[in-house]
Structure 1
Amino acid sequence: MWSGDFHFKGLIMSFLSVSQLDLLKKGVFGQFMDLGDVHLSDSIFHCLILSQLSSSTDSALKFKIFDRVCVFDFESFHFITGLDSCVDDFSVVSSRPNRLLRLYFPNQDRIKLCDLKSFLQIKSSNRTGGFWERSSDLVRLAEVYIMERVLLGRNEKCVVKGHLMKIIDDDSLRVSYPWGSLSFNWLVRSIRGCVETFKTTPSTRYMISGFAYALNVWLLEVFPIFRGFSSFHGPKFPRMLSWGPSKQVDYKVITENFFHAEKVCASFLLVLLFLGFFSLLLFLCFCIYHVFILCYRDSRNLLSMLLLLVRNKRCWIIQLHLNFLMIQALVLAVRFCHLNLLIR
């Protein structure tokens, strides 16, 4: 489902020295090296995508879950990933040569992500110290890999984006570049594209780009009921560090108990309301009938009529209707509180 690399940490840790790894963790993508497993629950993620509303835009995704409309915007993405957004001019890199590409991939105008991965794997098995132990270039190449395979979630057959490679190679531009906006936009466009695809060719097989794990964490943050499918490591920032990988759950279990549960609840509430109104109508008819009977027999004031009505031998019928209405009101109140607890 996600076209990125679930095992990026293992690869990167295999070719970086301890000092290089510390340098990477202090950089712009350091928080991703503190992540645990980033596996997603395919069933939950698929149901989430199907719950997307047509009112979603390029700046925010909207979902309807438990009869509640929830918005996933850049503020949520920043809170989860810690990646920022800023406005600056990065056109200066267009005229610069790609130093990393020329130095480590000579005679090539461009490389694919699989080529970069193979290069890093070779360095992990043939690292002999000296230059590679001291060079920060390996850290830069590791950041290129994280940017492409994690933030953008691109397939390894894709070509590495040259201008982003040059930005990462520049210390000042690397820090100021809006990596958060870049990753968020890729994710939003990818998910909206999947929904558009479903309209024409319904299918459960598709690939999501962007940092899809952020949406998985967002679901855990917004709906506590889903937290049973993951492990909580305590409050941390960014919030993605607070959660472990999501468990794989049967699709039928998810749809019947969670994502379609609001439809069952709505039907249940409608039936109860109908019975309540019907019971109230019978109760009113019963009261009116007895009031007219009492009026016919006695012309005392209305208060006295009501008192006589309560003392009437048929008052148990009134009490039965009242009890039924009270039980229905109690059930509605409990169900309402339950739904509010689910979505808090």
Structure 2
Amino acid sequence: MDAESSIKRRHDPVSMETMGDEGSKSTKRKDVVDSSISEASLLSIEKRRKVIDVSSVSKGKNVVEDVPSKAGESRFFLKDPPTHSVHMSCNTNVEVFKDLKDKLTDKQHKIFGETCFGVFTQMQHCYVQAQILRCCMVRELIESTPDAFLIDINGNELRFSIREFAIITGLKCVGDEDAFKVNCKGRNRILETYFGGSKKIPSKADLIECFTDKNWGLNDADAVKIVVLYFIHTYILSNEKNAVKIPRLHFDLVESGRYVDYPWGKKAFNELIKSMTHKMTFEKKIYRLHGMPLAMQVWLYECCSFVDATLVVKTGNNIPRMLNWMTIESQPSFKELMDGMFKEDNTPVKCCTQHCYISFLHVFKFLLFLYFIF
């Protein structure tokens, strides 16, 4: 067991960054680092000891004080979860792969399969079971940040960060988004040909209409470009249909081909975490999930020691992990989930390589995967 844990730590995508030369210096710096951390922690605790988030209280959020938890004190963001019915709104188009088969020719579908998003065409049918995300928000810990969503299940703390998101989705999650910004005053052929000119900012609804009507005709190259935009904005970045405008940058990236290098995973992760972290209140009745909720849902499947086979089944052991799961019941109820996957019965939660299990037979494949996405 120790040997297995050691190997997993060596192949952990974050741990690897601190190995090598730094390992030889860690012992020498230990006392200095420990001392610095202790002093900084004490100072931070003293400053925050009696501070309460007044704005959160005024909005009806039942939160705990931002101080270290005492024995037996709740660390949950919500002390008392809402008892009324809560609606979770999600606009992920889980039928996108059926849409592609219906609208594209065999040649066009093959070209899309060779893009950086082509691996998703191997997905099993997987619904967004939105009440799972509600369960996560109910079990959210106060320590959640914009960089990581923390939950507690059966006394086990689980952390969903961009590393877990990358392993689950395979999307590129590193890179500076600002480095891709260009002069948007120039002409864009896709905008001029299909959306009424470069000065108009199309909405998501306009993009869906263009895809549905197959406005590209017999132009295979343009067909794939429209499909890439459609896939990004209906599956990876799931936002409301009529309220969202497609950024001009996205059209420029697709037209130039630079979209393959853009950190779509980073953007989707940030939008998802922003829509969930510290958002649930006792009174609110509707929550809108953005980004890619399926990533957190599949991550939870991978973490849980018990997954009800009437809800979802595992069909493989591939990378990225999203390819391995097929939902059986599309929309399980909140009570059904809290009495099942989230039940407080002291069942241990599987926590391998930051909650994403990687067997010995897949270590080499996993490292190759990380090499290409990072």
TM-score scaled by length of structure 1: 0.69
1:97 to 162, 187, 192: 187
Q: What value does the CA root-mean-square deviation take over the aligned residues?
A: 2.2
CA displacement, residues 145-184 of structure 1 (integer Å, 9 cap, x when unaligned): 111111111121122222112112212x212111111111
Q: CA 1:93/1:135 → structure 2, altered by over 3 Å: closer, same or farther?
A: farther
SS of equivalent to 2:288? coil
Residue 251 of structure 2 is aligned to residue 160 of structure 1? no
Match of 1:135 in 2: 220
> CA contact under 8 A between 2:156 and 2:349: conserved in structure 1?
no
> CA contact under 8 A between 2:308 and 2:340: conserved in structure 1?
no
Q: What is the alpha-carbon distance in structure 2 between the residues aligned to residue 24 and residue 224 of structure 1?
A: 36
Deviation at 1:52, TM superposition (A): 1.2
Match of 1:22 in 2: 110
The one-letter code matched in structure 2 to 1:178 is P
1:182 to 267, 282, 289: 267
Q: What is the alpha-carbon distance in structure 2 between the residues aligned to residue 254 and residue 221 of structure 1?
A: 16
1:313-328 equivalent positions in 2, closer than 5 A: none
Match of 1:331 in 2: none
Moved over 6 A (4+): 341-344
SS of equivalent to 1:133? coil
Residue 340 of structure 2 is aligned to residue 340 of structure 1? no
Q: What is the alpha-carbon distance in structure 2 between the residues aligned to residue 65 and residue 214 of structure 1?
A: 18
Deviation at 1:47, TM superposition (A): 1.0
Q: What is the alpha-carbon distance in structure 1 between the residues aligned to residue 194 and residue 333 of structure 2?
A: 46
Q: What is the alpha-carbon distance in structure 1 between the residues aligned to residue 188 and residue 209 of structure 2?
A: 19
Residue 123 of structure 2 is aligned to residue 32 of structure 1? no
Q: CA 1:217/1:168 → structure 2, altered by over 3 Å: closer, same or farther?
A: same
The one-letter code matched in structure 2 to 1:214 is A
> CA contact under 8 A between 2:148 and 2:273: conserved in structure 1?
yes
2:296 to 190, 209, 215: 215
> CA contact under 8 A between 1:17 and 1:133: conserved in structure 2?
no
SS of equivalent to 2:151? strand
Deviation at 1:37, TM superposition (A): 2.2
Deviation at 1:225, TM superposition (A): 0.6
The one-letter code matched in structure 2 to 1:164 is H
Q: What is the alpha-carbon distance in structure 2 between the residues aligned to residue 104 and residue 134 of structure 1?
A: 12
TM-score scaled by length of structure 2: 0.64
Q: CA 1:180/1:246 → structure 2, altered by over 3 Å: closer, same or farther?
A: farther
SS of equivalent to 1:199? coil
Deviation at 1:206, TM superposition (A): 1.9
Residue 283 of structure 2 is aligned to residue 201 of structure 1? yes
Match of 2:161 in 1: 73
> CA contact under 8 A between 1:98 and 1:165: conserved in structure 2?
yes
Match of 2:63 in 1: none
The one-letter code matched in structure 2 to 1:77 is F
SS of equivalent to 1:102? helix
> CA contact under 8 A between 1:4 and 1:153: conserved in structure 2?
yes
1:249 to 318, 327, 332: 332
> CA contact under 8 A between 1:98 and 1:166: conserved in structure 2?
yes
SS of equivalent to 1:64? strand
The one-letter code matched in structure 2 to 1:253 is E
Q: CA 1:29/1:343 → structure 2, altered by over 3 Å: closer, same or farther?
A: closer
Match of 2:209 in 1: 118
Q: What is the alpha-carbon distance in structure 2 between the residues aligned to residue 214 and residue 98 of structure 1?
A: 32
Deviation at 1:257, TM superposition (A): 4.2
Q: CA 1:341/1:55 → structure 2, altered by over 3 Å: closer, same or farther?
A: closer
CA displacement, residues 109-155 of structure 1 (integer Å, 9 cap, x when unaligned): 0222222212222228xxxxxx8334311101111011111111112
Number of residue equivalences: 258
Match of 1:47 in 2: 135
Q: CA 1:137/1:342 → structure 2, altered by over 3 Å: closer, same or farther?
A: closer
> CA contact under 8 A between 2:204 and 2:241: conserved in structure 1?
yes
The one-letter code matched in structure 1 to 2:208 is K
Q: What is the alpha-carbon distance in structure 2 between the residues aligned to residue 52 and residue 201 of structure 1?
A: 17
| Greater gyration radius | 1
Q: CA 1:256/1:244 → structure 2, altered by over 3 Å: closer, same or farther?
A: closer
Residue 316 of structure 2 is aligned to residue 234 of structure 1? yes
> CA contact under 8 A between 1:40 and 1:246: conserved in structure 2?
no
SS of equivalent to 1:94? coil
> CA contact under 8 A between 1:93 and 1:163: conserved in structure 2?
no
> CA contact under 8 A between 2:237 and 2:292: conserved in structure 1?
yes
> CA contact under 8 A between 2:295 and 2:322: conserved in structure 1?
yes
Match of 1:57 in 2: 145
Residue 93 of structure 2 is aligned to residue 5 of structure 1? yes
Q: What is the alpha-carbon distance in structure 2 between the residues aligned to residue 139 and residue 5 of structure 1?
A: 18
Deviation at 1:232, TM superposition (A): 1.2
Structure 2 unaligned spans of 5+ = 1-88, 353-374
> CA contact under 8 A between 1:219 and 1:226: conserved in structure 2?
no
The one-letter code matched in structure 2 to 1:217 is V
